[in-house]
Chain A
Amino acid sequence: MNKVKRLFKGNLKQYSLLIALVAIIAFFQIVTGGLLLKPMNVSNIVFQNAYVVILAIGMLMCILTGGNIDLSVGSVVALVSAAAGQMIIVWKWDVYFSIGICLILGIMVGIWQGFWIAYVRIPAFIVTLSGQLVFRGATLLLLNGMTLAPFPSNYLMFSTGFIAKAARVNFMGTELNIVCLITGVAIALIFCVVQVISNNSRKRKGYETVTPLALALKLLVISAALIWFFTLLAQYQGIPTVLVILGALLIVYTFFTTKTVAGRHLYALGGNEKAARLSGVKTNRLFFLAYVNMGFLAAVAGMVFAARLNSASPVTGTSFELDAIGACFIGGASAYGGVGTVGGTLIGALIMGMLNNGMSIMGLSSNLQQVVKGLVLLGAVAMDVISKMNLDLLPKRKKAVVLEGAKS
């Protein structure tokens, strides 16, 4: 019983977020008379939020380094989509080749900003504020203030397409995409098997394990949620291609942050840079790589977004950075760095996304939507800060900052 309690306690933060998300979904489902979870709208939500999640993952890596944010991502998204438009639409270059160039462009932007931030130690806020202006300006120069459209269909496939759209069968009166359905069940199964195997191996090695009941409960809830989600998708057109990109990124970055040495070092860097350095962590390089990675993911997001709009416009991506930063903080990342998870960030992005979508269906004005989103962001971070006060960590950190200054 104690173990179950501890399991819940340890993950309370994550669970409380999940509960908030479920509550928001339930609220809008009722208020919109069931429109929110209509199969078509669920696919829509995936399309609408894909770029936010991609950017938020990159932003999380920057925030983990010590609460540093990247204000330039909206402009980088614009620059990359403009470059994609120029190469693919105007110059008619090969789509795959152009995508490669776009990714390199994003990485170069990351190297440029990362150099100033990590090695010259100019505050990230200032470097990326400069980047916001520079890359927005570069976009305007490149596009000459005009919008490029449309993209060829083989480019659009990457973002707005569906996988095996035609494989539909009639199942108890509803048309279902069989590939999507099978994928959903397979993912749920693989997830369960992996969890059980790892739990067993822990037990064999004599390490602490969760009780079978807690494990079963957890697997049941997660599998049910996965299968339900894929069933909804199957009722519409199947798996959106962008969901595959998203899924791959989520898995890779979750693995990176939780299971690799480099990921661990990233948390240490944000938790206490001096201590990390004295433990042999190459802090500057890690700091640099976080921004290179941000540039790369901004490029991915830029291409996904260009495909969704089916155009490259000079005003693309305005204030995207705010969505990404908001998702991280709602998702439990600490504004001081060193704390935050990919899963939490995903939930944070979904909370924002659900609010957007739900309020739009309700027909609330976009002005009012902004007010609500702003308050939700503040509320989420306030909860984070207040929960830390109980741990007495926050005041100590503040004091430590004052003292460090005094000693140097």
Chain B
Amino acid sequence: MGNTLLKMQNITKEFPGVKALDQVNIEVEEGEIHAICGENGAGKSTLMNVLSGIYPYGSYSGDIIFNGKECRFHTIKESEHQGIAIIHQELALVPYLSLAENMFLGNEQATSGVINWDLTYQKCAEYMKMVGLHENPHTLVKDIGMGKQQLAEIAKALAKSVKLLILDEPTSSLNESDAKNLLDLLLEFKKNRGITSILISHKLNELAYCADKITIIRDGHTIETLVKGKDEISEARIIKGMVGREMTSRFPPREHHIGDVALEIKDWTVYHPLYADRKVVNNASINIHRGEVVGVAGLIGAGRTELAMSIFGKAYGTHISGELYLDGKLVELHSIAQAITDGLAYVTEDRKGNGLIVPDSIKHNITLARTVFISKNGILDKDLELHKAKEIREKLNVKTPSVEQLVGNLSGGNQQKVLIGKWIFAQPNVLLLDEPTRGIDVGAKYEIYQIINNLVAQGKAVLMISSELPELLGMCDRIYVMNESRIIAELDGNDASQESIMGYIMQDSKGEIGA
């Protein structure tokens, strides 16, 4: 391998009351893909923010040596100038600007302040080609999917002649095939362009696929760096490093006591709210028993979220047709409020956008969906509310000293627990969980799985939508496979495998094209 491109030595960064980074060391060689993994709150993002100048020189201690020079970045601009580009988990594209405008935002192709649009669009097309993004440079960012937006971000970094590309959980909102494309792209960059990448990821299979080295960070310390080919790289080893304990199993065991059908839909069809002729759910029929975890697998855009939300009091879609049975009784849910009263809960995939009131306290968030439980005649009993919120906190092990704490101050895993706690408080019979472990670390995931197991042990029914197939395989009694708005298969949890699920999807998509 080549020379050392980046060396971060004894980096220590303190926030009031917390040492986020404590003497962290990391060395990245030129032309390698270096993965950093660690639990949420371990300090990965903080480290990258130090590197890219978001936390300016002086606010941390330690040295950064990049390309043989000691660097003291005060702004992101300065680090970008040196060829360091960071792509955040939450994309920073402007939805109502075109791809080309976004790509050269802050790096406009201009002479003395006047933009050369011909050059802008031409260059944009070139860079998009490099990343395999086949779109018109005039297309607005809001009109393309998350996977393509991710590629656009990378093209944007290329446009700044990047030497070191930092990706913070780039695949957390991508489906498996988009995620693989992205990783292949990184491998291709490494091979043909000599671009070095730092990849922050929770997904261990991705690391095994493309990383040359893996540095594990826990509680602000570097634990170890594993080198491909030299050290044994296995999930068990990485997990052990991250959580500091052996995890014998990623999924907690569960006893199976399957009861009567709790929820059933028949011939369920939902149309898109804006494009009235587009079916987002097409003639779907599924059922969930009490005490059962039922998975829904499928690619992004297959209609899984739309299915769950349309069941939940018609929270999504128009012209919904089909029959909905709760505990064997035919019902029609006209509103979300009615769905909640009838024992449904929908735990959204987008916890900050659709799930939680971020600037409000934990206790207010927990009680919001069922304020009747803490009020009489429309008047709140705040003492009771506090009491109930504390109960939920204990039950779900939300790590916070007080339920008065604002949700915005919690880590992702704890926010997710509050979100689930909010719906447990609502005492549902059927929980529709949409990506319940997205963007949270392995330890917190395990705890969420335990919560799910407890719920089904109490006789509740759980529908679990997930883009992580191992999770579905590990947790579900049965799995429905959804593709292009239809349910295409129903598999037993024990017989299903990643290959069989992907096989169904591939075959179905092929059939569509052939027809």
User: Chain A: residues with CB nearer than 8 A to chain B?
Assistant: 10, 202, 205, 207-208, 258-262, 264-265, 267-268, 271-272, 274-282, 334, 336, 338-339, 391-393, 396-397, 399-400, 402-408
A400 touches B408 (CB 8 A): no
B408 touches A264 (CB 8 A): no
Q: Please tell me which stretch of B216-224, B351-359, B440-448, B506-514 contacts chain A, meaning at least 4 of its Cβ atoms lie within 8 angstroms of it.
A: B351-359
Known interface pairs A261-B371, A268-B368. Does A275 touch B380 (Cβ–Cβ under 8 Å)? no
A278 CB contact (under 8 Å) in B346, B372, B409: B346
Q: How far is the CB of A79 from chain B (nearest CB, A)?
A: 32
B379 touches A260 (CB 8 A): yes
B353 touches A271 (CB 8 A): no
A399 and chain B: residue at smallest CB distance: B90
Contacts of B352 in A (CB 8 A): 396, 400
Contacts of B141 in A (CB 8 A): 406
Chain A-chain B contacts (Cβ-Cβ < 8 Å), number: 127
Contacts of A207 in B (CB 8 A): 383, 386-387
Q: Is B193 an interface residue when CB atoms closer than 8 A count as contact?
A: no
A405 and chain B: residue at smallest CB distance: B95
Main secondary structure of the interface of A (DSSP, over half): helix
CA distance A338 to B379 in the complex (A): 19
A275 touches B355 (CB 8 A): yes
A406 touches B142 (CB 8 A): yes
A276 touches B337 (CB 8 A): no
B423 and chain A: residue at smallest CB distance: A279
Which 10 residue pairs of A and B lie closest in terms of their CB atoms, listed nearest first? Answer: A271-B357, A405-B95, A280-B337, A279-B369, A406-B95, A393-B408, A261-B371, A207-B383, A280-B336, A274-B354
CA distance A282 to B337 in the complex (A): 8
B315 and chain A: residue at smallest CB distance: A278
CA distance A400 to B142 in the complex (A): 14
B interface residues, tally (CB under 8 Å): 48
B386 touches A406 (CB 8 A): no
B353 touches A274 (CB 8 A): yes
Q: How far is the CB of B204 from chain A (nearest CB, A)?
A: 26
A406 touches B93 (CB 8 A): yes
Contacts of B337 in A (CB 8 A): 280-282
Residue interface mask B454-479, A partner, CB < 8 A = 1? 00000000000000000000000000
**Interface of chain B residues 275 through 309 with chain A (CB within 8 A):** none
CA distance A282 to B95 in the complex (A): 28
Contacts of A405 in B (CB 8 A): 95-96, 142
CA distance A20 to B406 in the complex (A): 26
Q: How far is the CB of B509 from chain A (nearest CB, A)?
A: 23
Contacts of A407 in B (CB 8 A): 146, 353
Contacts of B371 in A (CB 8 A): 261, 264-265
Residue interface mask B189-211, A partner, CB < 8 A = 1? 00000000000000000000000
B90 CB contact (under 8 Å) in A261, A280, A334, A403: A403
B359 CB contact (under 8 Å) in A205, A262, A334, A408: A334
CA distance A393 to B352 in the complex (A): 12
A275 touches B354 (CB 8 A): yes
Q: How far is the CB of A371 from chain B (nearest CB, A)?
A: 32
Q: Is B397 an interface residue when CB atoms closer than 8 A count as contact?
A: no
A397 touches B149 (CB 8 A): no
Q: A278-B355, A280-B337, A338-B357 are in contact. List 4 more A-B contacts (CB 8 A).
A: A271-B358, A393-B406, A396-B358, A399-B90
B348 touches A268 (CB 8 A): no
Contacts of A267 in B (CB 8 A): 357, 360, 364
Known interface pairs A278-B348, A400-B352, A405-B96. Does A339 touch B369 (Cβ–Cβ under 8 Å)? no
B354 touches A400 (CB 8 A): no
CA distance A22 to B277 in the complex (A): 63
**Interface of chain B residues 306 through 353 with chain A (CB within 8 A):** 312-313, 315, 335-337, 339-340, 346, 348, 352-353
CA distance A10 to B405 in the complex (A): 10
B375 touches A261 (CB 8 A): yes
B378 touches A261 (CB 8 A): yes
Q: How far is the CB of B423 from chain A (nearest CB, A)?
A: 9
Known interface pairs A261-B380, A264-B371. Does A275 touch B408 (Cβ–Cβ under 8 Å)? no
Q: How far is the CB of B465 from chain A (nearest CB, A)?
A: 15
Q: Is B404 an interface residue when CB atoms closer than 8 A count as contact?
A: yes
